[in-house]
Structure 1
């Protein structure tokens, strides 16, 4: 299922968007997930993030094979379902049932930033129907789209970690949470009183030790990367990337203190592919190597 397409006067053309992420689960892996007692209830088949997706769109006269969730965190777009066309702006959320004809796309003058996933499973249709009943239809509005975008990001991270049962279960959990967030807070929900900085920091804490780019993080909370960098420096004294390193190092200390994992294994658990680079980073921040940290006298 390739969401990376756009529409022009001649029809669909393939395209990509700078900074995009897109994961397509192999169909054999989807079939295996649908036989698992947990992921059979809800399985994500495709997921992605399209920043400032100029000329992006899809038209499906017969609908899609799976259900869809689309979340707009910036810019504007539109969605047509049957004879009804909906405007979609920041906070706009679309939940489309499988096999229902539809079309959607970004506007030309202010193209949307979109977080999305396709899903199926024995409980998927019930979730879609519940979302429509709770929010009054397939297109709703979230006062604050950042928490749902964060959960879609977690879906993408899980699928990106490998084709495993554990990754599939993690993606299922995040996707289920995203859909229930839409059900609970769509249209008339209270939204969030957290500031953009607080929402960004909360996402980083929730997804650590996985790394989120500044561009993706800024789009979740409706800021430009430069604005987000300035906020972090002003309020926290560090950049978003440095904040993420701090979170990863906190997790590294927990693992060194509380487990017998090797330094190489701790590096992997904190998403450092190179143990030597991890050790250098740890030493730079803590003034001692991971091995020295582990054998330091108790209480220091």
Structure 2
């Protein structure tokens, strides 16, 4: 039995259809509207069958594990680092692999610019799967969409989601350009960590996005940066903590929270290990 949703840790957002219709007719959002979006981690037994397709374009980004999609009667394997794009009105089905269920970021989009994006990208029912040269950047944009939709149902949030989706579709469309320079897997991971400073991102997650084994990824990361992924993330957090201590009057506990540490005492120990002084002593120092 295939499950459409209900996975531990999932995020699932659906815009009410009256609001979709309003957004499609309103300046600012009419170009591209996100009607549905979400995140399904390790979605065992996940699957969906739509014999008549849907009115929107379906975009599935696989960041871990594997699965399959069937579009217009043809079945295609899907693995980490690939995106599935199904045009509106096309019969399709998809599902997670039984042994290595996928982790998906996904969204449905509609709007006046959609047909042009699909044309430029060369999207067609016979070739719905393509490689992503920068999966981290694509995931960050889908997450931006999800966060905007989670915030509230105001026009401002819908506009923010539309903007992120427009950027995402532009990047996906450009993937077919030959000869474009590619950022290394480590460079992409660094950028992803910079954009997710407050989150604890594991080596396994970064390695899966880079389509490398954790040991191989960790070795490459240390060779190219001189530090481990965990140490690099700690350095990013401490840089942000210094900025907050220098430019705000926020209590140390709040600074700790804003850079991703739940325990302010652990944060203080980490800060002192990096800077040689406590956060309070650092703030009292004369600078500039």
TM-score relative to the length of structure 2: 0.76
Q: Distance in 2 between matches of 1:277 and 1:38?
A: 45
Give the secondary structure class of the aligned counterpart of 1:210. Answer: coil
Q: 1:286 to 1:221 in 2, by over 3 A?
A: same
Q: Distance in 1 between matches of 2:29 and 2:255?
A: 28
1:103: Cα distance to partner? 0.5
Q: Distance in 2 between matches of 1:267 and 1:38?
A: 37
Match of 1:135 in 2: 121
Deviations 1:45-89 (A, max 9, x none): 3321545x5654321224346542112356654322233444445
Contact 1:68/1:118 (8 A) holds in 2: yes
Q: Distance in 1 between matches of 2:221 and 2:140?
A: 22
TM-score relative to the length of structure 1: 0.73
Q: 1:233 to 1:170 in 2, by over 3 A?
A: farther
After TM superposition, list the pairs within 5 Å mapping 1:241-256 onto structure 2.
241-256=230-245
Match of 1:184 in 2: 174
1:199: Cα distance to partner? 1.7
Identify unmatched segments of 5+ residues in structure 2.
none
Give the secondary structure class of the aligned counterpart of 2:198. Answer: coil
Give the secondary structure class of the aligned counterpart of 1:272. Answer: coil
1:194: Cα distance to partner? 2.5
Match of 1:115 in 2: 104
Q: Distance in 2 between matches of 1:192 and 1:49?
A: 31
Deviations 1:153-186 (A, max 9, x none): 64377369x6346877665544332221101123
Contact 2:81/2:131 (8 A) holds in 1: yes
Contact 2:136/2:189 (8 A) holds in 1: no
Q: Distance in 1 between matches of 2:175 and 2:132?
A: 8
Q: Distance in 2 between matches of 1:277 and 1:74?
A: 31
Which of 137, 150, 170 is equivalent to 2:139? 150
Q: Distance in 2 between matches of 1:59 and 1:16?
A: 16
Contact 1:157/1:210 (8 A) holds in 2: no
Which of 249, 254, 260 is equivalent to 1:271? 260
Match of 1:3 in 2: none
Match of 2:38 in 1: 47
Of residues 80-89 and 245-254 in structure 1, the stretch that sits farther from structure 2 once superposed is 80-89
Q: 1:140 to 1:127 in 2, by over 3 A?
A: farther
Q: Distance in 2 between matches of 1:238 and 1:153?
A: 29
Give the secondary structure class of the aligned counterpart of 2:10. Answer: strand
Identify unmatched segments of 5+ residues in structure 1.
1-10
Match of 1:68 in 2: 58
Paired positions, count: 280
Match of 2:94 in 1: 104
Q: Distance in 2 between matches of 1:22 and 1:291?
A: 38
Contact 2:57/2:88 (8 A) holds in 1: yes
1:204: Cα distance to partner? 1.2
Question: Does 1:175 find its partner at 2:159?
Answer: no
CA RMSD, aligned part only? Answer: 3.8
Q: Distance in 1 between matches of 2:6 and 2:207?
A: 20
1:247: Cα distance to partner? 0.5
Give the secondary structure class of the aligned counterpart of 1:12. Answer: coil
1:92: Cα distance to partner? 3.5
